Amino acid sequence: MTIEQTILSAVTATVEKLYGPLEGVTLQLQKTRKEFTGDYTLVVFPLLKRSRKSPDATATEIGEALVAECPLVESTNTIKGFLNIALKPEFWLGEFGKMASDENFGIAPRNGKTVMVEYSSPNTNKPLHLGHIRNNLLGYSVAQILDACGYKVIKANLVNDRGIHICKSMLAWQLYGGGETPESSGMKGDHLVGKYYVEFDKHYKAEIKALVEQGLSEEDAKRDAPIMQQARTMLQKWEAHDPEVYALWERMNGWVYEGFDATYKAMGVSFDKVYYESQTYLLGKDIVAEGLEKGIFYRRDDGSVWIDLREDGLDEKLLLRGDGTSVYMTQDLGTALSRQRDENLNGIIYVVGNEQNYHFQVLKLVLKKMGYAWSDDIFHLSYGMVELPEGKMKSREGTVVDADDLIADMVTTAREMSEELGKLDGMTPEEQDAIAHIVGLGALKYFILKVDPKKTMLFNPRESIDFNGNTGPFIQYTYARIRSVLRKAAEAGIAGSAPEGLALIGEEVELIKYLADFPQTILQAGATYSPSVIGAYVYDLAKMYNSYYHDHSILREEREDVRSFRVALSQLVASVIGRGMALMGIDVPERM
């Protein structure tokens, strides 16, 4: 039973003693607003017909009865028909004991439902970039949070490993690569393939310019450029399983996967299942064929297949090109159906940027028109773009911030700032490396995840590594400080406990109340798919503890029972900070 349920049960018993059975009346209990005194507030207006008194008189009557009869209640006060209820410190001490002894505190029981969270979804024609970092961190954290909310969670990655964009890199390497490999060049495989994607674009633009100078319109030049025609031919050969093209595709994709895996490891994210569009697009084609038979889709004169969604407030949408090759929507239809057949999902969350809002509207609607009721369980977690200040980080070709560069720069900056502040003094080189990595990645992850996913954000690397303010390093340092206290307590033989009858001071009661909010905070973050809810909670908890630590002695407290309680309180605060940060995919250091 939650604290709210415990209080509601006690209040219900008191109200029924005053006014009789509450048939048809639902009591409303909510947390007391910060500007008023109390822990929980009862809305008395639904009880006025039974009390036959004014709102204030009814609230006062209930309050007096609660103080007299309910051992949990310390005091009450009435504000304009609302009854504010303050609970006794000993009640909160008892709740603290329950929380401290619960190894799974904050974690909801299994609910029997399975959800899939899809994130990353890279193309195999270029390395991961800053946008992928927000995507991966957000997806991984949401998966961790939903798991804590009781769901069985499948972390999925859909790799866009086929299509015209992949053929562009393949063709450029074939034409201009001279047999270059990751081994011969010393480049990560994803970077090498990305180099040839850029090379294709350079030659493509040159051909367009030449054709326009010969009198073609820009549109015709884009269509007729020889290199683009070669790429389209390569795509057709790939879909026909041409041995030479297929072997090249497997080789270059292999380079990319090795590069991606290294970046994922550095980022600290993982997947339970990896889907490949090359394995699902044919199922998408089957869905298109079925839709044609049912008259849901239609074929144009050029052989392309479309769906008309104008009556639904959308537009006409291409599902299959005239040459028979598939588009993103084709393969997304196939992937969605494949997943549902394999996993019998209760929901799927697609973590994809807000530029794809329309795409997912169409995907859900097409699946619904095809008769798949589970399309209602698809949710697009649409997030805003993340940008950096001018000149703060290196970018490739002046446009894209490379994920590997950003991660490496964050670790380097964390080391520099930690050294400046003396945080690495007395550590071995190995310990310094570990702390720089933990702090650098923690700063990056927290700075990105503390922002509501829907918002576009500006990422400032040095600002994110500040050891003061709402940052990952501030929270990590608070955790390390508590762990230092706990190590000293252990050395001194001081065990944490919550002795009955101990008189708590106000700050301790407030800390316990806030710790009690942790389970509900996780549920709220899961319901809104927002790690920022966890970030705000952990930051406030760290601030509260630092203030308490500053004002009250822990290990030097003279009374043994108080000293033991403060150690136990510190233990639970550290545990909750660690668990909260883990839900955001962030490590916390034992020393700092």
CATH number, position 63: 3.30.1360.70
Q: Residue 398: its pLDDT value, please? A: 45
Measured distance CA(545)–CA(578) in Å, rounded? 14
CATH number at residue 429: 1.10.730.10
SS (H, E, C) 41-55: EEECHHHHHHHCCCH
- How big is the chain by its Cα radius of gyration, in Å? 30
Dump pLDDT digits (tens) for 181-210: 999 999 999 999 999 999 999 999 999 999
* Domain finish residue from 87, 117, 144: 87
**Helix residue ranges, H only, 214-314:** 218-224, 226-239, 243-267, 277-294
Q: Which of 65, 87, 109 is the last residue of a domain?
A: 87
Distance of CA 393 to the CA centre of its chain: 24
Beta bridge mates, 347: 115
Comparing CA positions, the residue from 472, 444, 442, 461 lying closest to residue 394 is 461
B/e letters for 577-590, b = 16+ CB within 10 Å, e = fewer, are: bbbbbebbbbbbbe
| Residue written as token pair 């649409």 | 382
Question: Considering the domain boundaries, does residue 442 fall inside one?
Answer: yes
Per-residue pLDDT, 58:
95
pLDDT of residue 131: 86
What is the structure's pLDDT at 306?
Answer: 97
Average pLDDT, the chain: 93
**Residue 203 forms part of a structural domain:** no
Furthest-apart CA atoms within the chain: distance in Å: 95
Last residue of a domain, one of 53, 68, 87: 87
Report if residue 145 sits inside a domain: no
In angstroms, the Cα distances linking 91 to 65, 74, 88, 365, 567 are 18, 9, 5, 52, 19
Task: Classify residue 453 by burial, with Cβ atoms within 10 Å: 0-12, 13-18, 19+.
Answer: buried
CA distance 561 to 572: 17
SS3 213: helix
Give the pLDDT confidence score for residue 397 in this predicted structure.
43
Closest to 131 in 3D by CA, of 363, 331, 388: 388
Q: Which domain holds residue 469?
A: 403-583
Q: Could you identify the residue written with the tokens 């000149």?
A: 391
Residues in the chain where the model's pLDDT stays below 70? 390-400
Residue 216: predicted pLDDT: 93
> How many domains does the chain contain in total?
2
Q: Has residue 39 been placed in a domain?
A: yes
Q: Half-sphere exposure of 552 toward its Cβ, with a 13 Å CA cutoff?
A: 19
What's the rounded Cα separation, in Å, for the pair 507 and 545? 9
Query: Residue holding tokens 């952990």?
Result: 538
Tell whether 578 is covered by a domain: yes
- pLDDT at residue 399, as a whole number: 55
Question: Which distant-in-sequence residues (6+ apart) come within 8 Å of 408 by Cβ?
Answer: none
The whole-angstrom separation of Cα 456 and Cα 354 is 10
* Assigned domain for 315 exists: no
Residue 539 placed within a domain:
yes
**Domain presence at residue 497:** yes
Token output for 473: 């390093």
H/E stretch holding 380 reads strand 378-383
Structure-block tokens of residue 464: 């994110």
Question: Which tokens is 3 given?
Answer: 């604290």
Q: What is the pLDDT of residue 390?
A: 60
